[in-house]
């Protein structure tokens, strides 16, 4: 697949057809090291339900997308992606790429498939993989990294990508245009700044629940030495353990580094407020996923109860309609998008617009498999063309599995370098796909 990694796109035919719709069940045995262990996910096997789109154009470009899962059920996600094959295989690709807003609606409003959600869970994430693969292909054809392709689009073109159904009580096309036009001045200057200095990151590498106190201490110190200004710790197992671990971490990083905590949905409302009162003395940057990602009213109550500590959530939020309500209810103060939970780039642009409408900073969830590689494009686009700001914004970084991607992220002095290779970042190495293709529980 080396032909895909190049940065000088060839011409593609004016008319080409999707001739390959190839799925892979890729699973990495991460549970053996407890990387990624938290209060709700003790033994994840980081996995990708992976899609490769091939066309008959002579440019050699392919579109790659995936859904991140944590092991069992990755085959179910592959089946869901496969259920979308008839929308793409044999289809002329240029009209699809030229109208990705319309195509998003075609997939999301396939009425029979919609019954399986609607707009949530396995089927919605599968649509995300397809949509992201098409954006990857479009960016490669344009010879641009995805963030930069999006940053070349006019406010009108961007609004066409958004589905406003179920949002119009909060966000209209006119609202979206106003937000995007407000950020038009300065796009070029911000592109230059981004290329020069990158985008802020924070690291979750030190904080997994499965790590020893010694390892936590060491990794916290390394994070500071590496230039990170925020670390994140998993909490929610036992409160005394959390207090001890936070004391270790605060001691290791000193008073000026931000420490966020993440409960991974472990608590009920009252429990979250009580527990956080024990952790508050350690100067907490945010409490992430205190309870069920579906509980808008619960998060709102928790936010009132733990103030001034901000509540962060979003990585498990099913769709734009949930994000809308969390913002309406002031149930989150830090919004966390995920590149493979909702229906792809289009829906994430919608969520960025909702966040901008409410003036709430977006700090994406990343880590997993390829989430850093994919989601960085969305934050960088947000900086260039939506919020126009880096203030209070940063992308999660976890240092594993990057070596499996054609264009792994680069972190320098605690910041993501802006990717320059064409595409959406979602292409895995063919050798990694082959090596880690799942061959059954007994394999």
Q: In whole angstroms, how close is the CB of 243 to a copy of itself at the nearest point? A: 23
End-to-end CA distance of the chain: 26
Cis amide leading into 118 (omega within 30): yes
Place of tokens 């990495």: 28
CA 146 to chain centre: 14
Instruction: Please count the other Cβ atoms lying within 10 Å of the Cβ belonging to residue 83.
Output: 17
Contact 399, 431 (CB under 8 A): no
The Cα 223–Cα 225 span in angstroms is 5
Q: Interface with a copy of itself includes 123 (CB under 8 A)?
A: yes
Annotated catalytic residue 234: yes
For residue 398, CA distances in Å to 26, 222, 402 come to 19, 13, 9
Stretch that binds a copy of itself, among 43-51, 355-363, 400-408, 417-425 (CB under 8 A): 43-51
- Contacting range for a copy of itself; rule: CB under 8 A; set: 39-47, 98-106, 279-287, 408-416: 39-47
- Binder among 69, 229, 336, 432 for a copy of itself (CB under 8 A): 69
Q: Which range in 11-19, 71-79, 351-359, 371-379 contacts a copy of itself by CB under 8 A?
A: 71-79
**Cβ-based neighbours of 159, under 8 Å, separated by 6 or more:** 173, 176, 177, 180
Alpha carbons 198 and 276: distance in angstroms, whole number: 33
Contact between 72 and a copy of itself by CB under 8 A: the answer reads yes
Among 19, 40, 99, 421, binds a copy of itself (CB under 8 A): 40
Q: Is 291 in the site for a copy of itself (CB under 8 A)?
A: yes
Provide, rounded to whole angstroms, the least separation between the CB of residue 247 and a copy of itself.
28
Contact 378, 364 (CB under 8 A): yes
Contacting residue, 113, 276, 351, 353, with a copy of itself by CB under 8 A: 113
Kindly indicate which of the ranges 123-131, 385-393, 397-405, 410-418 contains the residues binding a copy of itself, using the contact rule CB under 8 A. 123-131
Say which of 234, 324, 377, 404 is annotated catalytic.
234
Positions marked catalytic: 234, 365
Residues of this chain that bind a copy of itself (CB under 8 A) = 40-45, 69-73, 75-77, 79-80, 83, 86, 110-125, 165-169, 265, 268-271, 291-298, 301, 316, 318-319, 321-322, 324-325, 328-329, 441
């Amino acid at each position: 697949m080396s032909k895909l990694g190049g940065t000088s796109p060839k011409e593609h035919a004016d008319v080409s057809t999707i001739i390959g719709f190839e799925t892979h069940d890729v699973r990495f045995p991460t549970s053996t090291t407890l990387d990624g262990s938290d209060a709700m996910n003790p033994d994840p096997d980081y996995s990708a339900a992976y899609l490769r789109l091939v066309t008959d154009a002579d440019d050699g470009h392919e579109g790659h997308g995936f859904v991140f899962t944590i092991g069992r059920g990755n085959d179910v996600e592959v089946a869901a992606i496969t259920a979308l094959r008839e929308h793409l295989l044999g289809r002329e690709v240029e009209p699809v790429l030229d109208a990705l807003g319309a195509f998003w609606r075609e997939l999301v409003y396939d009425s029979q498939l919609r019954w399986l959600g609607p707009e949530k869970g396995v089927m919605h994430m599968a649509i995300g993989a397809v949509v992201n693969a098409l954006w990857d292909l479009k960016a490669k054809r344009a010879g641009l990294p995805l963030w930069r392709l999006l940053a070349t689009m006019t406010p009108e073109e961007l609004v066409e990508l958004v589905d406003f159904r179920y949002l119009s009580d909060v966000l209209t096309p006119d609202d979206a245009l106003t937000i995007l036009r407000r950020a038009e001045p300065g796009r070029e200057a911000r592109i230059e700044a981004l290329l020069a200095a990158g985008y802020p990151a924070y690291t979750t590498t030190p904080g997994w629940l499965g790590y020893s106190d010694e390892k936590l201490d060491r990794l916290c110190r390394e994070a500071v030495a590496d230039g990170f200004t925020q670390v994140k710790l998993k909490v929610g197992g036992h409160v005394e353990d959390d207090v001890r671990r936070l004391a270790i971490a605060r001691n290791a990083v000193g008073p000026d580094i931000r420490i966020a905590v993440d409960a991974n949905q472990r608590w009920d409302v009252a429990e979250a407020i009580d527990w956080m009162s024990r952790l508050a003395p350690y100067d907490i940057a945010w409490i992430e996923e205190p309870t069920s990602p579906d509980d808008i009213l619960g998060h709102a109550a928790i936010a009132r109860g733990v103030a001034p500590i901000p509540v962060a959530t979003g990585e498990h939020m099913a769709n734009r309609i949930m994000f809308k309500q969390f913002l309406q209810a002031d149930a989150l103060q830090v919004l966390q998008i995920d590149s493979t939970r909702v229906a792809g780039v289009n829906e994430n642009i919608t969520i960025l617009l909702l966040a901008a409408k409410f003036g709430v900073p977006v700090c994406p969830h990343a880590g997993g498999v390829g989430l850093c590689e994919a989601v960085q494009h969305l934050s960088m686009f947000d900086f260039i063309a939506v919020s126009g700001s880096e203030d209070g914004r940063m992308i999660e970084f976890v240092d594993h599995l990057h070596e499996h991607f054609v264009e792994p992220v680069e972190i320098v002095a605690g910041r993501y370098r802006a990717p320059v290779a064409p595409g959406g970042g979602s292409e895995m190495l063919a050798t990694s796909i082959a090596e880690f293709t799942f061959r059954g529980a007994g394999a």
